[in-house]
């Protein structure tokens, strides 16, 4: 557990919560985990999408969708470096993790609503139709400050 935590850059407690299904991790963590285990990330992303099927995972998904949910827009991209996701952040909510980072680059298009992105020490406010591209090794955090859902298309490039 400690070795995996070190290889993913997360705490052993975080790994335990994910393993015990008490926390649904963000896509960025699934990508980190796949690199650490040297397996294709599509295995995790496919499982993530099937969470509604079994009871315990369905409960985890319901909790997750109370503030932050995502679905893959690139199913079957098992051997690709580029993946896209539609991310929805509920009104006045933020991703429950503190900050996260992962190898590669990230592109965010605000499809609907408003987004506050904390990137390193800077805060960016993006509105519908606006975009941002950044090195995803920089710690970042997403937050919806508005009274309506924020929908994003997030594209990740992982080496």
Q: What is the CATH number of the domain that holds 22?
A: 2.60.120.10
Structural domains of the chain, count: 1
Chain centroid, CA 68 distance in Å: 9
Rg (CA), the chain: 15
- Angle, helix 42-49 to helix 27-37, in steps of 10 degrees: 140
The answer, yes or no, to whether residue 1 has pLDDT greater than 80, is: no
pLDDT tens digits along 108-159: 999 999 999 999 999 999 999 999 999 999 988 888 989 999 999 999 898 8
Chain centroid, CA 38 distance in Å: 19
State residue 130's pLDDT score: 96
pLDDT tens digits along 76-93: 766 788 988 888 888 887
pTM for the whole structure:
0.65
Domain that residue 122 falls in: 2-157
- DSSP symbol at 90: -
Q: Select the highest-mean-pLDDT range: 11-15, 18-22, 44-48, 123-127.
A: 123-127
State residue 43's pLDDT score: 64
Average pLDDT over residues 47-67: 43
Residue 96: strand, helix, or coil: coil
Count CA atoms closer than 13 A to 42's CA, side-chain side.
11
């Amino acid at each position: 557990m400690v070795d995996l935590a070190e290889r993913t850059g997360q705490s052993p407690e975080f790994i335990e919560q994910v393993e015990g299904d008490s926390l649904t991790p963000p896509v960025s963590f699934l990508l980190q985990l796949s690199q650490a285990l040297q397996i294709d990330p599509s295995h995790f992303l496919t499982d993530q999408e099937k969470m509604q099927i079994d009871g315990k995972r369905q409960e985890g998904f319901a909790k997750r969708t109370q503030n932050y949910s995502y679905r893959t827009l690139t199913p079957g991209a098992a051997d690709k470096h580029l993946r896209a996701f539609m991310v929805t952040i509920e009104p006045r909510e933020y991703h429950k993790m503190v900050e996260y980072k992962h190898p590669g680059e990230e592109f965010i298009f605000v499809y609907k609503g408003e987004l506050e992105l904390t990137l390193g020490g800077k805060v960016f406010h993006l509105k519908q139709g606006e975009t941002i591209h950044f090195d995803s090794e920089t710690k970042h955090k997403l937050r919806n400050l508005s009274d309506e859902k924020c929908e994003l298309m997030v594209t990740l490039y992982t080496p």
